[in-house]
Structure 1
Amino acid sequence: MSLRKKIADSEAVLNWVARRIAGYARRVYRNTKWQRVGFEELDRLADAGEPVVVVLWHQRLVMSPFLYPLDKGRICTITSAARAGSMVGRVQHLLGMDTIAMSSHKRHVALSREVLAMTKQGVSIGIAADGPRGPERVLSTVPLIWARTTGKRVFCMTYSVKHGREASSWDRMLLPRVWGNEGVFLCKEWPHQVPRKATEEQTEELRLSLEVAMNDLTAEADRMVGRAPWEPRAK
């Protein structure tokens, strides 16, 4: 194993990086004037101990620990066990969220039991709908699978800020400016249920419906802070 790989896989290094990212997110949260819109029903469910499935785009993960009302309930995100997914999980854990790593070594049945056990304890499930590797803003069927498996309601979430830049990553991660910023947190329930025995056609129709809902909500957040609308990459 090369020295570079040893360093990249070092627990000490990974934890150091995670602490720095978490510190950045905390500073953004503290130093930004936020609006929080559309969370009334989610807050009510969290207060009542009723778990839900939360969906957001990978591009808007930086502020994800501040979207769900952690003062009212718990949420567990399903992340990749790969290095990037592991880093997301570390950061979210530092900021008060639970995480479950999904890897090729973990049987789907075992993962399902783990997730279901958490929802029975009142823990919500969070999913980056186009993660961990994209394509950007192409919704996978993972949120639909967990909505069907758990039988829980689905809420779309996003955030946007007036001042920030997009990283040169596959998802064009939004990186907010730390000081003197304005931002918005948005939440809206997806008004559909996933049938237990959905056909392929039904599944694709629901997938597209949720993808459109996610894009519409994110576009609304960008509009509210005066941010340029998202455009697909040129092919």
Structure 2
Amino acid sequence: MNLRKKIADSEAVLNWVARRIATYIRLVNRNTRWQRIGYEELDQLVEQGEPVIVVLWHQRLAQSPYFFPLDKGRICSITSSARAGSMVGRVQKLFGMDTIAMASKTRHVALSRQVLGKMKQGISIGIAADGPRGPERVLSTVPLVWARTSGKRVFGITFSTKHGREAGTWDHLLMPRPWRNEGVFLCREWTETVPRKASEEEIETLRLSLEQHMNDITAEADRMVGREPWSPDA
């Protein structure tokens, strides 16, 4: 093992990096004047111990530790076991979130069993539905499968800030400016029902519906702060 790989795999180094990222996230949150819109129903459900499924875009992960009302209930995020996904999990744990690291070889049945077990304990589930590698804003069917099996309600959550830049990553990760900023957290329920015996055609229709829902709320959040909404042709 070469020195670079030893450093990259060092627990001490990884934890140090996670703490630095968490510091940045906290700075953004502290130095931004936020609006929190559409959370009434989600807050009530979580406070009553009713778990939900939270969907977000990978592009808006930077403030994900503040997406969910952790003072009212627990949430478990699904991350990749690859290095970048593992770092997301480390950071989220520093904010009090649970995580499940999904290896690329993990069978969907095995993952779903873990997820359903969490929900039976009253723990909500969060997933970046176009992760961990994209394509950008192409929603996977995974949250639909969980909604169908569990019967739990699905909420799309996003954020945007007036000042920030997009990273040169596959997801164009939005990185807010950590001082004198304005931002919005936007939560909205996706109200379609996933039938227990949905056909492949029905699942695809529902997948496109949830994908459009996520794009709509993200564009709405962007417009609220004066940011140009995402375009697939950009």
The TM-score bracket by the shorter chain reads over 0.9
Match of 2:81 in 1: 81
Alignment partners' CA distance in 1, 2:109 and 2:223? 41
1:56 aligns with 2:56: yes
Q: Is there any run of 5+ residues in structure 1 with no aligned partner, and where?
A: none
Classify the secondary structure of the residue corresponding to 1:21.
Answer: helix
Q: Give how far 1:113 is off.
A: 2.6
Report the 3-state secondary structure (helix = DSSP H, G, I; strand = E; otherwise coil) of the residue aligned with 2:147.
helix
CA distance 1:54–1:230, shift in 2 (3 Å):
same
Q: How does 1:98-177 map to 2 (within 5 A)?
A: 98-177=98-177
The letter for the 1-side match of 2:6 is: K
Equivalent-residue separation in structure 2 for 1:99 and 1:108 (angstroms): 16
Between the two proteins, the alignment pairs up a number of residues equal to 234
AA aligned opposite 2:70: L
Give the SS at the match of 1:61.
Answer: helix
- Looking at structure 1, the residues matched to 156 and 104 of structure 2 have their Cα atoms a distance apart, in angstroms, of 27
**2:38, 2:188 within 8 Å by CA — same for their partners in 1?**
yes
TM-score (ref. length: structure 1): 0.96
* Partner residue in 1 for 2:196: 196
Q: Secondary structure at the match of 2:62?
A: coil
**Over residues 7-33 of structure 1, what are the superposed CA-to-partner deviations in whole Å (9 max), with x where a residue is unaligned?**
111111111111110110011101100
Residue range with higher mean Cα deviation, 138-147 or 171-180? 138-147
- Whole-Å separation in 2 of the counterparts to 1:36 and 1:78: 24
Q: Which residue identity does 1:177 align to in structure 2?
A: R
> Structure 1 residue 105: deviation in Å?
5.0
The aligned counterpart of 2:45 is: 45
Match of 1:17 in 2: 17
* Paired amino acid for 1:97: M
Counterpart amino acid of residue 57 in structure 1: W
Aligned residue number for residue 180 of structure 1: 180
Greater displacement, 194-203 / 155-164:
194-203
Deviations 1:58-90 (A, max 9, x none): 000010110110010100001111111101101
Counterpart of 2:210 in structure 1: which amino acid? L
Q: Cα RMSD (Å) of the superposition?
A: 1.2
User: 1:37 & 1:107 partners in 2: Cα distance?
Assistant: 36
For 1:140 and 1:112, the matched residues in 2 are separated by: 14
Q: Secondary structure of 2:59's partner?
A: helix
105-114 vs 159-168, which deviates more? 105-114
**Percentage of identical aligned residues:** 76
Which is worse superposed, 103-112 or 142-151? 103-112
Q: 1:106, CA displacement in angstroms? A: 4.1
1:27-64 deviation digits (Å, cap 9, x = unpaired): 11011000000000000001100000000000000101
The equivalent residue for 1:229 is 229
Q: Distance in 2 between matches of 1:109 and 1:161?
A: 37
Q: 1:111: how far off?
A: 2.6
State the distance in 2 between where 1:111 and 1:131 align: 15
